[in-house]
Amino acid sequence: MQILDPQDPRRPYVQIAASLRAEILTGNLKPGEKLPSGTELAEYFGVTRATVANAIHALVSEGFVRSRTGSGAWVRDQASLPGPDDGPHPLAGAATFIHEMGQLKNLPRSGWLLLGIPSPESVAEHSFRVSMVGMILAAIEGADVGRTMALCALHDAHETRIGDTPSVGRAYVKTATPETVTEHQVAGMPDHLAKVVRDLTAEYEATETMESRLAHDADKLETLATAAEYQAQGYDAGPWRETSLSALRTDAGKQLAQAIGAGDPRWWAPFAASYHELRASTRGSDPHARNGNPDGGGEE
């Protein structure tokens, strides 16, 4: 079993559960086998029995083990998550949350509709690139990359229920807070999973940590990049660019904004400009590129 890593930011009981889960999944702990006692596990991991109990409870909730008070815990006979015949699946709430997040793929970013863009990006598309921007910002600042990306990925999760309200409508519409929406979204999850989503939402909204401030800047920088792309297509996205720039809070965010502003949103332009030279240097290696056309078209 993997011992606790003092550099791991996860709580000890989460690390212990992960270690035992890995032993089960790799077959080192076999179906029907009894787990070491709470005392033995506490001594092995150097924690209290209460911490071990929390880890075992997490594995019971996930369906990996079964336990009986005073008798111990055993690996489930199937050594896998329980099926429908066992009653409601312990991760049913997590599955529901995943399906709900899929709604973000169908929800357009409403602000761009004001520019007359017929099919603007979805909230899911926006959130994906916000996560990529957050990764870069966290690396620049030396912040926690994974946590920053998680904050970015969840920053608009509440919009599955309250929608994406454009700036011109926010003065007229009052909605539930993101924390309140999150509380409803995670209601069916196991407690330890719900806590992860709940804590990330609260951290993002509080903007007290470096990671949360970077996530907020990532949101604005993604809007800035999208505005530059729409402007290159002939839409007047100037107000969006100005608003995004004025909202930046971190040095890394401001530096990246300068790079975005100075760059060309047509990232593929250098490749197109050098196509003939590239083709000449690799002639004969691509049977689909004929007669010097980038799209591979032309006659035989």
Q: What does the pLDDT look like over 229-258, one tens digit per residue?
A: 999 999 999 999 999 999 999 999 999 999
Residue 171 lies in a domain: yes
User: Chain-wide mean pLDDT for the chain?
Assistant: 87
With bands split at pLDDT 50, 70 and 90, how would you rate the model's confidence at 43?
Answer: very high
Query: Is there a single domain that holds both residue 60 and residue 118?
Result: no
Query: Is there a single domain that holds both residue 139 and residue 178?
Result: yes
In this structure, what CATH number is given to the domain that contains residue 44? 1.10.10.10
Query: Is there a single domain that holds both residue 70 and residue 205?
Result: no
What's residue 79's pLDDT? 47
Residue 238 lies in a domain: yes
Total domain count for the chain?
3
CA neighbours within 13 Å on the CB side: how many for 283?
Answer: 6
Average pLDDT over residues 83-87: 52
Query: Is there a single domain that holds both residue 164 and residue 59?
Result: no
Average pLDDT over residues 118-143: 97
Residue 26 lies in a domain: yes
- What phi, psi does 238 have (nearest 5°)? -50, -50
Query: Is there a single domain that holds both residue 179 and residue 261?
Result: yes
**How does 83-109 read in b/e, with b if 16+ C-beta sit within 10 Å?**
eeeeeeebbebbeebeeebeebeebbb
Query: Is there a single domain that holds both residue 124 and residue 154?
Result: yes
Range of the domain at 297: 271-300
Residue 214 lies in a domain: yes
Q: Tell which wins on pLDDT, 102 or 68.
A: 102
Percent of the chain whose pLDDT exceeds 70: 91
Query: Is there a single domain that holds both residue 137 and residue 243?
Result: yes
Could you tell me whether strands 65-68 and 72-75 are parallel, antiparallel, or unpaired per DSSP bridges?
antiparallel
Query: Is there a single domain that holds both residue 53 and residue 133?
Result: no
Angle formed by the axes of helices 12-25 and 49-62, nearest 10°: 50
